[in-house]
Amino acid sequence: MQGSPPGSPATTSYTPTDRTTPTRSATQASYDREVVHAILDEGSVCHLGFVRDGAPVVLPTLYARVGERLYVHGSTGSRPLLMTGRADPGLAVCLTVTHVDGLVLARSAFHHSMNYRSVVVHGIARQVTDPEERRTALDALVDQVVPGRSRDCRPANAKELAATSVIRLDLEEVSAKMRAGGVNDEPEDLSLPHWAGVIPVRTAHGTPLTDPRLPPATPLPDYLTTR
């Protein structure tokens, strides 16, 4: 396997590059591994960008983090994964994860904003062919959505494995961006008669809807009741 082993990074921060250095400073940027990992670990859906016929394509997809590697999977028949075939030099991608934390309503239209945390990863996505790494990645993709779930479902069989592409993107060129806190109004606007403040936003999970084909009174597993 290529790259550093997962979980043993050389430094506590990613090295900024030209394309991970923001041109504006209204928001806070971070290259800290713990900050980046925490944002990635809180989500399971990313927006994966790549270039096809010279034009950008951005698709939502599941991801998982294992140490300093991100994994994405899909059907062997899907376009982005086909473009990272074994013989290829890999596919240049940008993988972005965003959490919205709040709507910031300022007294001026100009200072309206969002509280958010995002991670942007640039790099070359490559097909994973090692069977053990593929299994690890597929388990991680299930556990990223519901931690603990991979041990309580049937693993992929040979036919399913053959139909699944797994691609890997190493965490090397990475940045986090975030905004938090309250309203930043101009001093001369503070007396204007407009309400101002922050509306918190979060992702909420509802009551699990049990598959009607399960035996009646099947209990919810622990990893769902303790969420």
Q: Which is nearer to a copy of itself, 5 or 182 (CB)?
A: 182
Please report how close the Cβ of residue 110 comes to a copy of itself at its closest, in angstroms: 4
Give the shortest CB-30-to-a copy of itself separation in angstroms. Answer: 16
Residues contacting 45, CB < 8 A, separation 6+: 60, 61, 62, 63, 97
**Count of Cβ atoms closer than 10 Å to residue 166 Cβ:** 25
User: What is the smallest separation between the CB atom of 8 and a copy of itself, expressed in angstroms?
Assistant: 27
**8 or 56: CB nearest a copy of itself:** 56
CB of 74 to a copy of itself, least distance (A): 9
Q: φ, ψ for residue 57 (rounded to 5)?
A: -130, 135
Which lies closer to a copy of itself via its Cβ, residue 9 or residue 108? 108
**Shortest distance, CB of residue 128 to a copy of itself, whole angstroms?**
16
State in angstroms the smallest separation of the CB of 156 from a copy of itself. Answer: 5
How big is the CA angle at 111 (ends 109 and 117), to the nearest 5 degrees? 125
80/77 Cα distance (integer angstroms): 9
Nearer to a copy of itself, 12 or 218 (CB): 218
Nearest of 151, 154, 156 to residue 221 by alpha carbon: 151
Q: Which is nearer to a copy of itself, 133 or 189 (CB)?
A: 189
Own/partner long-range contacts of 183-191 (Cβ < 8 Å, ≥24 apart): 183/104, 183/105, 183/106, 183/107, 183/111, 184/104, 184/106, 184/111, 184/113, 185/106, 185/107, 185/108, 185/111, 186/108, 186/111, 189/106, 189/107, 189/108, 189/111, 190/107
Q: Looking at beta carbons only, is 19 or 41 nearer to a copy of itself?
A: 19
